[in-house]
Amino acid sequence: MVTFALAVYVLVFAAAAASDLVRYEIPNALSVALVAAFLPFASALALPVAAEHLLAALSVLVLTALCFAFGLMGGGDAKLLAAAALWMGWHNLLPFILLTTLAGACLGMALLALRRVLPSASESGRWYSRLLRPREGVPYGVAISGAALALLPRVTAALH
């Protein structure tokens, strides 16, 4: 069951990144799937460790809900971050947040550069047109997912 949970982890983060990149939307079902897939993973953890993972997720959910309420982040990003924090636990939370921030900054800078270099591409009607619009946001689900996938070896290390 743990292998199935880890496969869901990989597939959900890949789907979240693709969805946010193309549609600027992270479906709620993906965050729910991450939480559900954590249950068999948690069963392989010591109870205090599983509880720490839950507290990390609840803490991130409260903080990201506040950020959403103040218009600082999208709701899909907030839910995906909290679901990812469930998998990270306290032990991996700081590296995860740092890696997400760095990936988001790189993605944002790349989009700013592309928007200046390819201004006409924002009106091409292609899937990437929205990404290149001057005042459009950054699909942060890509950064969140990239960080979560990069930290998968650290996540699985919690099993040992």
Amino acid 125: pLDDT:
83
- The residue type found at 33 is A
State what percent of residues in the chain have pLDDT above 90.
87
3-state SS, residue 55: helix
CA distance 58 to 3: 25
> Quick one: which of 42, 35, 28 has its CA closest to 8?
35
Amino acid 135: pLDDT:
87
pLDDT digits (tens, 9 = 90+) for 47-101: 999 999 999 999 999 999 999 999 999 999 999 999 999 999 999 999 999 999 9
Phi/psi class of residue 74: alpha, beta or left (left: φ > 0; alpha: ψ in -120 to 50)? Answer: beta
Report whether pLDDT(21) > 90.
yes
Annotate 58-77 with b (16+ C-beta within 10 A) or e (fewer).
eebbeebeebbeeeebbbbb
> Quick one: which of 83, 81, 78 has its CA closest to 66?
78
pTM: 0.94
Q: What are phi and psi of 101, to 5 degrees?
A: -65, -45
